[in-house]
Amino acid sequence: MSKQAQHWEKTRGLLMVTLAIWFVFSIGIFLFGAEMESVGGPFGYPLTYWFTCQGSLGIFVILIFWFANRQEKIDEEFGFSEKGDD
Amino acid sequence: MIKGNFIDNLPKVYGIYTGGFLAFIIIMAIGEQMGMSAKAIGIAFVAFTVAIYAIIGYLSRTAQADAYYVAGRQVPTVFNGMATAADWMSGASFVAMAGGIYFKGYGYMALLVGWTGGYVLVASLLAPYLRKFGCYTVPDFIGTRYGGNLSRFLAVVVLTVASFTYVTAQINATGTIASVALDIPFQYAVYVGLVSILLCSMLGGMRGVTWTQVAQYIVLIIAYLLPVFWISNKMGAGFFPHFMLADEVARIADLEAQFGLGTVTNSAADLATVPKGLAGITKAHSAVNATPWAFISLALAMMMGTASLPHVMMRYFTTPSVKAARKSVGWSLFFIFLLYSSAPMLATLSKLSLIDPNLATGIIGKSISEVQAIDWYQNWNQANLMFVSDFNGNGTLELNEFFMGGKAVVLATPEIAGLPYVISGLVAAGGMAAAMSTADGLILAIANALSHDLYYKIIDPKAETAKRLVVARVLLVVIGFAGATIAAMEIQGILGSVIWAFDFAMSGLFFPLVLGVWWKRANREGAIAGMALGLASGMGYLIWVRNGGSGFLGITQLTFGIFGSAVSLVSMVVVSLITSEPDAATQKMVDEVRVPAGKSILGKH
């Protein structure tokens, strides 16, 4: 396999993991909105309410930064990273 | 001033700007104590902030295509994040969102999840690859990746339909705020709003819009957070509301039960006396009140729409590198998160201020005549945003007898909670900033697509830079006036048209964009079918449901993009597979897009 194909393979793997986490917190948990409602969440909010107000939103922020760092590592590993800073 | 080492001085420049704005707020507060009228404060806030944006717009003037279309591709990550957040958060987020949560509770909060989750798709599926492409506009990507004028033209059509639907709502919002703050009729106020918007973008294009959007973000976030923290403190709910409102949320649930929410209802005859557009509290504040599919379908439509809206995507064309584009998406969402996570807190504080009989501000349980004598009630009643009526004739205001417009939750809560008027002026300036920044991004997206893709790439490929930029600016003004004219007619509400814009964008653009990067086999014929059939079927579904059609699979007029994008996906895959695969040059281009290093596909950066 060429270097480029390997790079893309890894990139695609990272995409799948990212989308899986995204799916769980944007869609998956809300299949059980009614069931989670009676469970206590952080800071004493009902769990479903907390996820819609803060939980899912915060997880998305962290997820994007995590994704960006992982992708960076993959690019560096294959020498495809750009020079220069951000 | 905006030359040379301006980029290095950004933190200092915006630091001074923020300090200056805070000083202005303090001066206004002192002015209020010394007897400055509420009207004068309102005018001062709006005029002062708009003047600053206009100055930034003027200083950013440019005659270079690179600066006009993509701000010279040198906007640092964090600042691009702020600009995107302002670009993204519109009048709907600032003025309407907390109101929606106040009235509809859980079912509505799908928008919070949808309007943030979409950024994961932007970061992972699209933004870095489109940045590597080095295009000026979104149709530029479609036209180059798939080739041919028809694909480019269809992308321009989808972009225009979606963005134009969106922009009328934003001009409407600037008009509403300008008419309240400056006390002029709405029909004129929309044009005042429009002129302010054009001042930011006319001379500097994307460069001007970028630096004004950063300034607008700073104003809008201060204007949103300050009242939330202040009210929370004043109510004794805690100094950091986001972590400390659980008791208040529980208290609202108790009060809802006590006041007979859901059991005491109004007759149709009674409701007919309530002014149009106002609503009472009919849904529980924090309980789950929507089916899983209703929640998920709305969230999904908003997420896919986010990843298809050109005015958001083009913000990531301005970063210095692919790496920076990715990180910048994270910063964007962080800055959006600051406001979105506060919206439910504002809705909670606003509702409790109004309904808790133990608080001095609570009005439920007071006598009707007493409520009608309150100053703020009279003001907002006059503005047609608040209404009480003694339906059961017992002389006391019940929960089901109080009605409010969605906009009033953000705009009136500071007054209701007894904050000084200077805060209301600040909130008006924040709402103006939110609506203006989004309108600027949208008008620029449309004008750039028409000038770059339609005029330069299709009609007159030999046009010189100077001529192209003149065309771009003329189009900017024409589109702005068209938008303002339609906004002045007040055809639909702010929130409804914003949601439609997402559905239009996802119907026509989501899969052609994503598959352009992630599926090498996708070809021109497939993309053309995907865009044309996707947009047509989405629009057809909307028209059908609007005209009494029953719809299917629980897809409503707010989520028709799910149907449109499904048609788009299927037609794009089928047509791609039955026609020949893209030529070797195109396949090689896709390979290059997937690697961050090296030259961009178009141009030198």
Q: What is the DSSP string of A28-75?
A: GGGGGHHHHHTSB-GGG-BHHHHIIIIIHHHHHHHHHHHHHHHHHHHH
Give the whole-angstrom CA distance, residue B505 versus residue B539.
Answer: 11
Give the whole-angstrom CA distance, residue B357 versus residue B369.
Answer: 16
Instruction: Classify residue B96 by its DSSP letter.
Output: I
pLDDT at residue B74 is higher than 70: yes
Determine the distance in angstroms separating the CA of A56 from the nearest CA of chain B, rounded to an integer. 7
CA angle, residues B381, B385, B391, in degrees to nearest 5: 70
Q: What is the pLDDT of residue B383?
A: 76
Largest interatomic CA distance in chain B = 80
Say if the Cβ atoms of A60 and B292 lie within 8 Å: no
pLDDT at residue B97 is higher than 80: yes
- Each domain of chain B, given as residue ranges in start order, spans 4-250+288-348+420-503, 252-285+350-403
Q: Does the CB of A33 have a partner CB in chain B at under 8 Å?
A: yes
Q: Does the CB of A45 have a partner CB in chain B at under 8 Å?
A: yes
Q: Does the CB of A70 have a partner CB in chain B at under 8 Å?
A: no
Structure tokens at B464: 């010189």
Share of chain B above pLDDT 70, in %: 98
Among all residues of chain A, which has the CA nearest to that of B253?
Answer: A46
Alpha helices in B134-245 (DSSP H): 138-146, 149-182, 186-201, 205-235, 241-244
Among all residues of chain B, which has the CA nearest to that of A59?
Answer: B117
Determine the distance in angstroms separating the CA of A16 from the nearest CA of chain B, rounded to an integer. 10
Tell me whether strands B278-279 and B386-388 are parallel, antiparallel or unpaired.
unpaired
Task: Spell out a b/e string for B24-57, using b for 16 or more CB atoms within 10 Å of the CB, else e.
Answer: bbeebbeebeeebeeeebbbbbbebbbebbbebb
Determine the distance in angstroms separating the CA of B597 from the nearest CA of chain A, rounded to an integer. 5
Write the single-letter amino acid at B232.
Answer: S
Q: What is the pLDDT of residue B242?
A: 81
Alpha helices in B259-390 (DSSP H): 268-271, 292-306, 310-313, 322-340, 343-355, 368-372, 375-382
Q: Which of B258, B340, B250 is nearest to B286 (CA)?
A: B250
- Which class would CATH give B4-250+288-348+420-503? mainly alpha
Share of chain B above pLDDT 90, in %: 27
Say if the Cβ atoms of B243 and A58 lie within 8 Å: no
Largest interatomic CA distance in chain A = 53
Q: Which residues of A touch B119 (CB under 8 A)?
A: 60, 64
Q: Are the C-beta atoms of B364 and B354 separated by less than 8 Å? A: yes
| Nearest CB to B596 within list A22, A37, A82 | A82
Q: How confident is the model at residue B304 (pLDDT cuts 50, 70, 90)?
A: very high
| Nearest CB to A46 within list B124, B286, B344 | B286
Neighbours of B578 (CB within 10 A): 9
Say if the Cβ atoms of A19 and B597 lie within 8 Å: no
Q: How confident is the model at residue B365 (pLDDT cuts 50, 70, 90)?
A: confident
Q: What is the pLDDT of residue B201?
A: 81
pLDDT at residue B4 is higher than 60: no
Say if the Cβ atoms of B113 and A26 lie within 8 Å: yes
Beta bridge partners of B396: B367
| Nearest CB to A67 within list B77, B124, B250 | B124
pLDDT at residue B141 is higher than 70: yes
Structure tokens at A1: 């396999």
Q: Does the CB of A10 have a partner CB in chain B at under 8 Å?
A: no
Instruction: Give the H or E element holding residue B26.
Output: helix B10-33
* Of the candidate ranges A18-27, B23-32, B565-574, B579-588, the one whose mean pLDDT is the lowest: B579-588
Strand order in the sheet with B402-405: B278-279, B402-405, B386-388
- Taken in order B15, B16, B21, B25, the sign of the CA dihedral is positive
Distances in whole angstroms, Cα of residue B131 to Cα of each of A59, B135, B137, B323: 25, 7, 10, 9
Q: Are the C-beta atoms of B501 and B166 separated by less than 8 Å? A: yes
* Of the candidate ranges A48-57, B265-274, B471-480, B525-534, the one whose mean pLDDT is the lowest: B265-274
- Taken in order B346, B351, B357, B362, the sign of the CA dihedral is positive
Write the single-letter amino acid at B107.
Answer: G
Instruction: Give the H or E element holding residue B11.
Output: helix B10-33
- Rounded to the nearest integer, the mean pLDDT of chain B is 86
Write the single-letter amino acid at B448.
Answer: N
Determine the distance in angstroms separating the CA of A81 from the nearest CA of chain B, rounded to an integer. 5
Q: Which residues of B touch A28 (CB under 8 A)?
A: none
Q: Which of A57, A71, A25 is nearest to B324 (CA)?
A: A71
CA angle, residues A14, B320, B64, in degrees to nearest 5: 140
Q: How far is CA B151 from the centre of its chain?
A: 28
Pick among A11, A82, A83, A85 to test the B interface (most B CBs inside 10 A): A82
* Of the candidate ranges B76-85, B384-393, B451-460, B577-586, the one whose mean pLDDT is the lowest: B451-460
Q: Which residues of B touch A10 (CB under 8 A)?
A: none
Q: What is the pLDDT of residue A83?
A: 67
Alpha helices in B464-559 (DSSP H): 465-489, 494-518, 524-546
Place of tokens 């004598």: B373
Give the whole-angstrom CA distance, residue B545 versus residue B553.
Answer: 13
Structure tokens at B75: 């906007």
Determine the distance in angstroms separating the CA of B13 from the nearest CA of chain A, rounded to an integer. 19
Q: Are the C-beta atoms of B199 and B211 separated by less than 8 Å? A: no
pLDDT at residue B447 is higher than 70: yes
Give the whole-angstrom CA distance, residue B431 versus residue B442.
Answer: 17
pLDDT at residue B399 is higher than 70: yes
Q: How confident is the model at residue B35 (pLDDT cuts 50, 70, 90)?
A: confident
Q: Which of B142, B130, B164, B2 is nearest to B74 (CA)?
A: B2
Q: How confident is the model at residue B259 (pLDDT cuts 50, 70, 90)?
A: confident
Q: What is the pLDDT of residue A47?
A: 85
Pick among A6, A45, A52 to test the B interface (most B CBs inside 10 A): A52
Q: Are the C-beta atoms of B301 and B119 separated by less than 8 Å? A: no
Give the whole-angstrom CA distance, residue B17 versus residue B222.
Answer: 13
| Nearest CB to B246 within list A45, A57, A65 | A45
Say if the Cβ atoms of A18 and B124 lie within 8 Å: yes
Q: How confident is the model at residue B255 (pLDDT cuts 50, 70, 90)?
A: confident
Give the whole-angstrom CA distance, residue A27 versus residue B517.
Answer: 24
Beta bridge partners of B387: B403
Give the whole-angstrom CA distance, residue B287 versus residue B522.
Answer: 45
Write the single-letter amino acid at B391.
Answer: F
Instruction: Classify residue B396 by its DSSP letter.
Output: B
Q: Are the C-beta atoms of B513 and B133 separated by less than 8 Å? A: no
Pick among A7, A18, A26 to test the B interface (most B CBs inside 10 A): A26
Give the whole-angstrom CA distance, residue B306 versus residue B300.
Answer: 10
Say if the Cβ atoms of B117 and A72 lie within 8 Å: no
Instruction: Give the H or E element holding residue B278.
Output: strand B278-279
Q: How confident is the model at residue B603 (pLDDT cuts 50, 70, 90)?
A: low
